[in-house]
A and B are shown apart, each in its own frame.
Chain A
Amino acid sequence: MGNIVEVIKTMAQLLKYANENGVIEVVTRGKNGRIQKMSKLLLENATKNDVAKQQVANKLMGALSNANPLMSGLNLAGTAANTAIGLKSLQMLGVITKLSKFNLILSGVNLCATCAGFAIMFKKLDRMSTKINEVLSAVKTSHKIYVDYEFKKVLSEHSNMLDCRRLQKPYSEKEMRELVDAECNVLDMLIEAFSENSTGDEETLIFSIYSLASMLAASIMYFDEIYYFNNKEIITDGKTWHTSHSAWMEVLNKITSDEFVARIQDHGMFELDLSTEENDYFYKGLHNQILDLITEIEDNQTLLTVFDDEINYKNYFEILNQDIKETVAKAIEDSDVSTDDQEISKAVNDAFEKLAIA
């Protein structure tokens, strides 16, 4: 890097410093040369800020679909058109509130990415682990799988991984990859069991599949982060990601297949006796959850390569989290809800903690 200072006179000159997402990062350094502050500038009409925008939107929706009824009453869906549809969606969710697991699944990935959030999922999943292990045993026997993948072990290890991240204790690339492999294999077997209709308890199976998909997505993103920054200097063949990455994504894609979605539609129609309108919200909500997970993994990979530096990558999330907190605070203010109220303040802080933006 040279010491030439360029005087900017036109937008075109400025634009050449924008990255592929249309973001110009401005760094302020202290006297010792270390980064003190990083600002990002999004250029007007820059179409490639969609990644950042979608990240904010996803996190916001995660906060809103939290089971807290106060939070679910707020609608930050954005435009007026979306607000009307969003309100109807919330009403429809109210119709299906007997499906508390459905609401829990919708906030899945955000709950599986932090200790505080995962604690909620863990309790429910742990209670189901005996039933799920029976299903896994049946699949293993019928497919002659001899490796011991136990659901409870996977839950426990995911919890351990999150705890290590929270306390900033070492969790190696190898351990992370083994966790992703284990979650992937268990998920694959559960999908197989559900597709073959070989178990009587469909609701448990559906909940465990979507929960595990959320866990897997969180794990893949954390693995990608570790893998990229450990290996980017030595990757020379353009194959940036681990060779198993496409196989892991393939398992998630199975949940979006026509055959799988048809099984979910049937469950809503015949087991839950939903109306066609309710069933649309049910199966599309679950389907969109997986599509969002896949998009989030891909967006995360984009962010990793865009920033290309661990400090900048982490700083980006700090800035993002601050954006989210400010947006939620404004939404609360616009809804005439007072955060002086202890209960409201606690609900907001709990939601932020679950989203790891506290």
Chain B
Amino acid sequence: MEKKEFIKKTILNFEEDLFSDVKDRFATKDYITFSFCSMNFVSREIFSEKLYDYFEKVEINTSKSFDKLLEKYMSNMDSLVSGKIAKAQKANKKNPNPIVPRARKYYDKADERRKEKSFDNLIDFSRIMMCLYTAIIKNDKKEITDMNYSSDCLDIETIVDAMEKEQAVIGKAAKFNLKDFYDDDDFTFILLTVIYYYIKNNVSIGEY
């Protein structure tokens, strides 16, 4: 997938209110800053140019193509949840058709989406991963059997805060190195944020 396609389908399509939220979020986290221009006056086009430049710099800094960066993003997200999803019991004579936990079904579905890096697959993968991770957070980081699929349950602040506190090994250094802004870990956080707002932007009217 081209980075231009990603930005066209996300930032350039966001509704006004949501785009304001995106700018606020990016400003709060210092993801993208403007030296001469107030964020209030930044249009979708200007923001898109800045984000595109950022992606280019990450590619140069990491020597990875956009597709490779997406792979790393998916691998990072997978590492947050894979060890915390309950597995189906093994089939045996007494229980020839064991029930597969709901969370496991969704995790397997997300895994299928990793195979081809299209925009739609990226969104599906991210949505499911965010829902699974949110369920794990609510369960005190313990193993889960179920999750809430509704996009209403997602909160970017909760997800990012939890990710920042993740440790590679318990008691050791943080899992994500966020010191070098142009590396693939920061890229993960920024991509996740944009995708989160894309999902919120496309929430259908109505409850649930």
Contact = CB atoms under 8 A, between A and B. Distances in A.
B103 to A, nearest CB: 12
Contacts of A246: none
Contacts of A261: 150, 208
B105 A266 contact: yes
5 contacts: A261-B150, A275-B123, A276-B124, A280-B202, A288-B207
Interface string B134-178: 000000000000000111000000000000000000000000000
Nearest to A277: B202
A329 B106 CA distance: 47
A82 B105 CA distance: 35
Interface of B: 102, 105-106, 109, 120, 123-124, 127-128, 149-151, 199, 202-208
B105 A270 contact: yes
Contact of B204 (A82, A266, A275, A280): A280
Interface in A96-144: none
Nearest to A282: B204
Contacts of B204: 85, 89, 280-281, 284-285
B128 A276 contact: yes
B120 A275 contact: yes
Nearest 3 pairs between A and B by C-beta? Answer: A288-B206, A276-B127, A284-B204
Given A288-B208, A291-B207, 14 more contacts: A85-B205, A261-B208, A262-B102, A265-B149, A265-B150, A275-B120, A275-B124, A276-B123, A276-B127, A276-B199, A277-B120, A277-B202, A280-B203, A280-B204
Contacts of A291: 206-207
B208 A287 contact: yes
A270 B120 CA distance: 16
B106 A287 contact: no
Contacts of A85: 204-205
A344 B156 CA distance: 48
Nearest to A85: B205
A208 B120 CA distance: 31
Contacts of B206: 284, 287-288, 291
B45 to A, nearest CB: 19
Nearest to A92: B204
A356 interface: no
A85 B202 CA distance: 9
A269 interface: yes
A275 B109 CA distance: 10
A85 B206 CA distance: 12
Contact of B149 (A82, A89, A262, A285): A262
Contacts of B205: 82, 85, 89
A267 to B, nearest CB: 12
Q: Which of B105, B151, B207, B208 has the most CB of A within 10 A?
A: B208
Q: Which of B150, B151, B203 has the most CB of A within 10 A?
A: B150
Interface string A259-275: 00110011001100001
Nearest to A262: B149
A280 B202 CA distance: 9
Contacts of A284: 204, 206, 208
Contacts of B127: 276
A247 B129 CA distance: 39
Contacts of A262: 102, 149
Contacts of B106: 269
B114 to A, nearest CB: 14
Nearest to A263: B102
A275 B151 CA distance: 14
A66 B13 CA distance: 29
A280 B102 contact: no
B29 to A, nearest CB: 25
Interface string A69-94: 00000000000001001000100000
Contacts of A283: 208
A285 B206 CA distance: 8
Nearest to B106: A269
Contacts of A265: 149-150
Contacts of A89: 204-205
A351 B202 CA distance: 30
B129 to A, nearest CB: 11
B108 to A, nearest CB: 10
B54 to A, nearest CB: 26
Interface in A288-304: 288, 291
Contacts of A266: 102, 105
A280 B205 CA distance: 10
B132 to A, nearest CB: 13
A190 B202 CA distance: 32
Given A275-B124, A276-B124, A280-B151, A287 B109 contact: no
A60 B126 CA distance: 36
Nearest to B207: A291
A262 B206 CA distance: 16
A81 to B, nearest CB: 8
A326 B94 CA distance: 67
Nearest to A284: B204
A57 to B, nearest CB: 12
